[in-house]
Chains A and B, each alone.
Chain A
Amino acid sequence: MAIRTQTIGDPVRRREDPRLVTGQALYTADIPLSGALHLALVRSPYPHADVVGIEADDAAAMPGVRGVFTGADILPTLKAPFPVASSPSGGAFEGLQLPGSGPIADRRVRMVGDPVVAVVAETPQQAADAAAAVWVDYRDRPGAGDCRAALADGAEAIYDAVPGNRAFRWDLPANREPDPAPVVVAQDFRIQRLIPMAMEPRTVAARPDGDRITLWTSTQSAHRVRSSVAKILGVARERIRCVAPEVGGGFGAKANLYPEEVLVPWLTLRFGAPVRWAATRTEDFQTTSHGRNLFARLEVRADESGRVRHADLAMQFDCGAWFSRPGPTTPSLTGTMIVGPYDIATAAARAEGAFTTTAPNEPYRGSGRPEATYLIERMLDILAGRLGLDPVEIRRRNLIPGHRFPYRTATGLTYDSGEYERALDLALEAGDYAGLRVEQARRRAGGGKPLGIGVACYVEICGFGPWEAGGVTVEPDGSVTVRSGTSPHGQGHETAWAQIAGEQLGVDPARVSVLHGDTDECPRGIGTFGSRSAPVGGAAVFTNAETVREQAKRLAASLLEAAPEDIRFAEGRFFVAGSRARAVGWTELAAYAASEESPDDAGDALTSDTDFRPPSETFPFGAHLCAVEIEPETGEPRILRYISVDDCGRVINPLLAEGQVHGGLAQGISQALFENAAYDADGTFLTGSLLEYAIPRADMLPAYELRRTVTPTPINPLGAKGIGEAATIGSTPAVVNAVVDALRPWGVEHLDTPLTPEKIWRAMNESQAQGEESESD
């Protein structure tokens, strides 16, 4: 039987799916733990208050209750602050405040859902009942539901150490004095707060194992959790085995450390018994990080032909009640990506961050790039409208041409590779842009529902280093084991990494096992976020498999009694040049390596575990086209066509890539039209359930038409750029541009998201609606 040796690029079906769709997969809540105790947390119902008293005697006496703990019991025993935020690297952050709130309240709560009392009982029900019986006396303080309220004069300090609530300033000065340009356009934007909403709520479990602890958690980064927890609990890192078993979605919100990841192992050490905590959906709403949530003002200067010469961005960023390491990087990514795929000579950006009495506002699918893309893409449409240009034409005049790569941006980044106009052309062709414009003109002249056409070009930054692990070993039976430092929460790493190793080694991917998300099995790793798995983790698998193949040639030379330079490799077999009949495969080599005749270093020849260190980031890009029709009676928008052209470099598995695009489009379109996480002025949470928070259902989304261009990156040998966030980034502005385009006859230039039917109807029925929206949604 001929072995297929080219598997990268094949639409291989996900090997993960049978166990997932049949309910065989084990999530953290499913891990069997005999004799486990259960944690329930008493949480603050107030945005901001002092904890004046706690009365827990009744709760402690209830059936099955094994212990009741407050900050006074727990905080003095911790060896490092929580959260473990440190100054983010690579940015000009000034005055960064890291007050440290602790994993449980220290006589002060700063958001609805802050943990105040930990109740441990023998069953989850007993723990919940006892938690409900704890009486906490709060003294209310004024809160701040958004960063403008927190930064206002006289606002109550959320941390005593941070009067004024300013968490940081970030400044990217202009690269040089901007050239004069005659056309100046500015617009204020409010990008709403979103909830990432993984299907699996956060869950943590721990078990004592001899003098070690095994910690299971629903995380995107088992290694980071292990390091942080070890530091905070003051135990050696080697004493903690951290496992991310099946993880049901993360979207960035499971990339940082949470209080329960400290409290559960703390309680396990205390009781010497397994302990589990599983968030209710309400707890997940209240305490798992939210995202986006930005006030921004963008000004561009252009010449009359529509060439943009300068961009200036000012941002106010809501940190929530605390932030972990990645928090403040979000606005800095927005700032450095504000020029988008356009050749803009100069740019400046700045941000100030503020603590508020709301849930942490952290990276969410795209983190900063959706904001940047939305801002510049909306601005180009506004500018095109002012200059009487077609939105496509203004983009063509500004896109970075293919021959300019690698391209150095005004903000100091180096774009790796790109054919931006080709992606735009493909989207226009696939969507029949010219035909849509004809239909729009027909409707505007002769009646019919308003039709809008939106175009958005995007480029994003991903593949963040500094390194990632992806070890490859050929086992004694000839099968292959990959030890991945990145771990999936739905992406399909097992399928994709098997394809990469399979192709490099000429082995059927079915013979490749992929281990991940276990700090014992995979000793090194950083994690899955920022679309970094393929370009960094996948590249590690790619290079290690190549190394094994080259090392194996020496072993084959010994076995075949030939010089290493004469050994050839094809279709998974090694042979001496010119005598293919005497070929040996991985099974023979592995057996030989284990035998006494083999050279001393034979075992090492079949394994390689060198981390991949990318020299810089990758920059996927694309173009999206959306056609939308408005129901004039109700303002309801209906998407008629959605074309997504995405270029993520070399594609490992088109099925997986398309799956990422589908999910990204759902979230990006939903940001444009539906979702909004709302707090009131004090920080009372208004959208704390799936009834109030509008996650989309399938019937609310259009049929997607996907196209692809392939422009490999030179940054890694795999050529892959990353696809996890791309569609989220391109879709929000495409939809908003389409809706605003439909509303042009009404003089509408901008509307803030989400574009609810009511907002659209008001824009059509209240004259001079020029984007100054009330805070009604």
Chain B
Amino acid sequence: MFESLTDRFDTVFTRLRGRGRLTEADVDEALREIRLALLQADVNLKVVRDFVARVRDALVGIDLSTSLTPGQQVVKVVHDELRQILGGETLKVTYASRPPTVILLAGLQGAGKTTTAGKLAAWFKKREGRNPLLVGADLQRPAAVEQLKVLGAQAGVPVFSEQSDPVTVAKKGLAEAIRLGRDVLIVDTAGRLSIDAELMDEVRRVSETVEPHYTFLVIDAMTGQDAVATAEAFHRTLELDGVILTKIDGDARGGAALSVKEVVGRPIVFASTGEKQDEFELFHPDRMADRILGMGDVLTLIEKAEAHVDAAGAEEAMARMQEGRFSLEDFLDQMQQVKKMGSLSGLVGMMPGLPKELRNAEIDDNALGPIEAIIRSMTPQERRDPSIINGSRRLRIAKGSGTTTTDVNALLDRFKQMQVYMRQMAGMSGLGGRVARSAVRRNNKKAAKKSKKRGR
């Protein structure tokens, strides 16, 4: 989501770092760029202004002219301020001593409240081992309750609703949760505009009725300048505990996330990363700051790896990489592991030190299908030693995988090139960002040439 912001900051920082001395004009220029980058990312104008002012203030205290690495210092100040803005603890749900723990969702129309309610229910059930009850208090939008029922069924969570009014539904829902012994109650409400006094009053009454332990505002990541006004209004009415950011799998720059945190002082607690019910995660504000600053999100990556990847297998693969014996078979194995960890584009966003071209590459996970098909159409012997693949074998593989011989060649070429870098990379003790970077650049150039040859 924050990729383009990352790129912009990267450019500014690179320029600053390269300077031996910084004049005031240089700093002004850098600040102007940062301001533009933030505004283009939909960060609220007022937030941007404060941010730039704070960075400037912090810089005044540093005598840049005498510093040996002035650029580095500006970068550090911006880092610190950005962390400040986005910062905050990751939500740790405290469950009520007398269940149920009540969660109220509110927001504008179309932000994704109902979908989020379903995802939240699934999260509580699957990740936290709780027994949630969903309450459909959106009696406004046609079929909203139907939608919630379908989502509840998917999550294996019961749904309560009836045709009365939202306050009554919420009240009965709470009673129902107690009766059934459900320990988490998630109340979905109708979308409403922050200036609709009547509806805002209604949601306040719902809130007073169920006395939620957590009140979350659901906000669309694509929201523009208005995010602040909306968040402030809901915060005044409901006392928010946090924000759930939806649709972050698009290419919106997510400025709303920064603005809201800054203005209402409440962190983003969850982010919805896709259309599937389990594409929903706790949000780690500090990690996101690192991600914006182009530092990757290694922590999340490691967590995912720990949860999904077979560590012993990876060790072995690594050893083989070092010895240059990493075969297509190993590759296939590791590919399966990677697939388990989620979408490729999501993973790439968390990797540190990847070049822009790769980070922003549009990756359709279905494109992995042909790769797998090609490898699976090879004999074990071919997988271990691709050099034996001659013309007729190639044709057979292409036919078997429903691809063309050009595709087979492309895969083999890539794999061969990468084997060289794999050895280098595996041999390094650190995260060999630079090597990967140059490898990929070279690769991309070759690909570009190739595609030109194909007449694209």
Tell me whether A and B are bound partners: no
Q: Which residues from chain B sit less than 8 Å from chain A, CB to CB?
A: none
Q: Which residues from chain A sit less than 8 Å from chain B, CB to CB?
A: none
